[in-house]
Structures are given as structure tokens and as C-alpha cells.
Structure 1
């Protein structure tokens, strides 16, 4: 029987609910969008034979509460939350996988607390600061449009616009990948994400100098097309002088293709640093 526990931890200004399952080295999954621990559960289930997988609800989502709702979290707040979570649960550096906003949070964690990270796989972080000026302005406009649609037409209309922007194809999925239903909790999470977290990402700037020399693998989806976050990941690899890794599916491949994604993540996490360049450089031909 695999070890599986759910608990809560107090962090400055919030309470975080987390789930820990499996055995082996600690691997933290930081979800994209309005993703909570449940959103990462299918991927975690595939990884738990190899790792102690930690998923959690970001502050403001599902079971994680904020002491003062008038204090909206920033990307840095979320990174500090993961820092406190790791400090409470382990003395060793952890493996980290972050997607989209989760990749931004994990990169901020790497910049602030590099000693806590053994290896970070940063999948399609929307780090628009890396884009050429014109593209950066376009990305900001598109993001604001999503936020405006949310204010006028509600969370589901904004989500539909966001899926188009992120190039997410709901048909690009494994047959048994669970569909996340728009239940009341999901709607609440989406509303929180669109009100606070999406603008926080738009305003965030990564400290690229602090990321040099940290253990990062920028990652992209093979089916992402040239969407903004895909390009940001490649530009991040370029700026940091690192090889990047390709993963199955699109921008949210970890949710739609958990089996293939977990297999690829395991492969990337187990590749020794000196072999990463050759492994990753060859894969575009397969």
C-alpha cells in the first residue's frame, strides 16, 4: 500500500493544504492555472512508484486559505509558500516540476532559495520579459483581454479565451485522462486565479542573474505550437545557456497526458547533468 497523507501547514499569512504520496526522493508538483492538489493527482499517481510526490493547493485555492483576503498573493508570495512547505517537510534539496504559473513560482523559488532545489523542470513559464518588445506588448494585451472578459462575462468565458491563447486542445488527451468538471469549487478557484494570480504573473519579473548556475531544465510541449509560453521557455533556455526538454502534449500536457508525461518527467529527472545536452538535442528528430 502506497503511503498517502493529507495535512495542513501554517505559513506566514495563510494555511496550505498538501498531499504527500509514494516513496523515494521528494518531488514537488506546482500546478498551472487554477490547478490545486487534485489537478495534479493523475500525474502524481503515475509518479508515486518512483518518488514521494508532494502536491498542494496554492493559497486561495480549494483547501488553502488566506488570513487576510485583502492581501492578494504575488508570485513571490507563492514561491515563499513552497519554501516554507519544503522547510517543514525535508532537510534535503527537492525535485520540482512546475507548469505555467507553477513554472514561474518554481523559478522564483530557485532564484530565492537555490539550496532547496536538486533539479527544477520549468514547463512553459509565461515569462514575457524574455520576449522581444512587440511580442511582449501583444502578450500583455491578450492577458488583459482575458481579465476583461472575466469581469464582463465570468470565469468560464475567460477560461475559453485563455485556452485559445495557450493553444490548448481538449482533444489532445489520453483516453482515460479525467475531465475536470466546472463544479462550484473549480469556479471559485478560477475566479481567484483570474482576479489575483493571472495579473500577478503579468506583473512578475524573474531575476535571471539569480537563476544562472541553478539546476533548471526549461521544458516545452511537443504540441504547443508557437504559443507565447512555449517561446518563453526556449528563450529562458537560451538566456541561461541550458538545454531544454520536450514533453508530450501541449501547454497542459501534464493534466491531459499524465501517463506519457510522467514517463518523460521520470526520464528527465533521472538524466545525469553531463548527459542532458545530448539527450535533449537529439529528441526533436524522434
Structure 2
């Protein structure tokens, strides 16, 4: 059974989807991804989990009361906090990727009791990088934002794919290429205008993460070792004194390789029950 719903949170209204049965598993999408971007992955997990996907505020069906007040990573984490509180009183499994992983880490630093296990797939935790690496990452991030301003949305999307090591043609045989038509444009515009700069500016509370009751499992892509999000994840694992885990494919594996990602995620969560 699939349930579509809306939750009012401070300053916004969130659209979310629940499907399947079993322990609650929240998928927090990366980039401009909304509730539907993880459909293929959610469908493969729904036999074992109650899977929650949602539109971040500003994307698709989730609206903002005051559009002149753009969200920060902390805003998104608070939204997820309120959404979780609305659907469960128990700690949940959470799997976030890219900005979704950063949002999930911020949630854990502020509300660790809501998340039993977090799989953080290639979060852009640039504060962990060396000064030289951090400078390069900030340059890359600003280059994407500048490309968006000067060359347009899809030029910036291509730049993002290059800098994060994404091969847009590398996907499982039954996965269709992500649409690049006008229907996707508003979400991309919002992400590049507001969320991408918010990621660049955000700093996590690293001591809070290290002391959190949540079991945090940093995860990297098999084919993204040459990118700084991959490097950030290895440093996060080192900071938390836990081994990193490897997922198939690259930075966008949640959408490009849903079968392989679902298999690996299930393998990872099975021996890690929520206390």
C-alpha cells in the first residue's frame, strides 16, 4: 500500500509518501531529488521496510510559506525532525545521499533519539578536509553556482556531474535516464539557487555527532574514489572511529543503480537492528 500525505511544519508544508511494511526507513534524496526520485529504490525495499520519501521544502509538492526566506541545511533537518515526529514515536532507519546525507547528519546532531541507524552516503562534509582540499572543494562548489548564473541550469547540472564523478550513462539496464525537460527545471533551479550554497556554508557539530546514540555508517561509492565527497566520507568515518562501507556505482547510485543499492543497503541494515 502506498500512502500520500502532507505534513505542516514551521514555515512550510511537506509532501511525503509511505509505502511497504516493516521497520521505518527514510530515504533522503540528494541534489534536486524529491519523493518520486527514489521510487525505483523504494519499490525494491518496500517488502522489508515501511519506506518514507518526501519532497524537501521548495521542491515539487512541498511549499514554503515565505519564499523570500530560503532554507538552510538546519531548516531541512528540522523539517525532517517534524516529519519523523508525525509518523513515528520510535527511532527510524535513515539513508541519505549527498545533501540528503548532510541533512541527516544535522538531524542526528540535534535529535539523535529519532534515528537508530543512519547510512550517510557521500555527505559533502567539507569541514573535515585539509585546508588545501577544502579550498578546492569550495572552488568546485562556487564554480557550479557561477555556471548556473552565467550558462544556465543544465550547464550547471553537467558541471555538477563532472565534479562529483557521475557518469550519466552508467545505470542499471531497466533504469531510465533522469529527465532534463521543463518539468524538472523548477527543482533544479531551487537546488542550485538555494540548497547548493547552503551546503557550501554549512558546518556540522562534529562533537555532537561523535557522542550521538545513533549508529552512523558512512558509505562511499565504488566508482567515486577520485572525488572530494568520497574523501569527505572517509574522513567522517575516521572522525567517528568506524569503518566506511562501500556501495556499488557512484555518487548518484540511489537513482542509477536502485537494485544494487537496495541489496547493499539491506545487507548493511540487517545486522544493525535498531536498539
TM-score by length of 2: 0.97
**1:142 CA displacement:** 1.0
Partner Cα distance (2:239, 2:40) in 1: 33
Partner Cα distance (2:64, 2:46) in 1: 29
Partner Cα distance (1:193, 1:59) in 2: 10
Between the two proteins, the alignment pairs up a number of residues equal to 271
Return the match for 1:29 from 14, 27, 31: 27
Q: Counterpart of 1:244?
A: 244
**1:170 CA displacement:** 1.7
- Structure 2: stretches of 5+ with no match in the other structure: none
- Give the alignment of 1:109-148 within 5 angstroms: 109-148=107-146
Secondary structure at 1:62 match in 2? coil
Q: Counterpart of 1:175?
A: 173
Secondary structure at 2:184 match in 1? helix
Secondary structure at 1:40 match in 2? helix
Secondary structure at 2:199 match in 1? helix
Secondary structure at 2:183 match in 1? helix
Partner Cα distance (1:251, 1:182) in 2: 19
**1:244 CA displacement:** 1.2
Deviations 1:217-251 (A, max 9, x none): 00000111220100000000001101111001100
TM-score by length of 1: 0.93
4+ long deviations beyond 3 Å: none
Partner Cα distance (2:202, 2:187) in 1: 20
Secondary structure at 2:69 match in 1? coil
Q: Counterpart of 1:84?
A: 82
**1:179 CA displacement:** 1.8
Return the match for 1:210 from 204, 208, 211: 208
Q: Counterpart of 2:159?
A: 161
Is it true that 1:105 corresponds to 2:103 in the alignment?
yes
Partner Cα distance (1:185, 1:119) in 2: 34
Partner Cα distance (2:149, 2:271) in 1: 45
CA RMSD, 1 decimal:
0.9
Return the match for 1:59 from 57, 60, 63: 57
Q: Counterpart of 1:233?
A: 233
Q: Counterpart of 1:222?
A: 222
**1:149 CA displacement:** 0.7
Kept in 2: contact 1:6–1:18 (CA 8 A): yes
**1:188 CA displacement:** 0.7
Partner Cα distance (2:146, 2:40) in 1: 32
Secondary structure at 2:35 match in 1? coil
Q: Counterpart of 1:269?
A: 269
Kept in 2: contact 1:172–1:256 (CA 8 A): yes
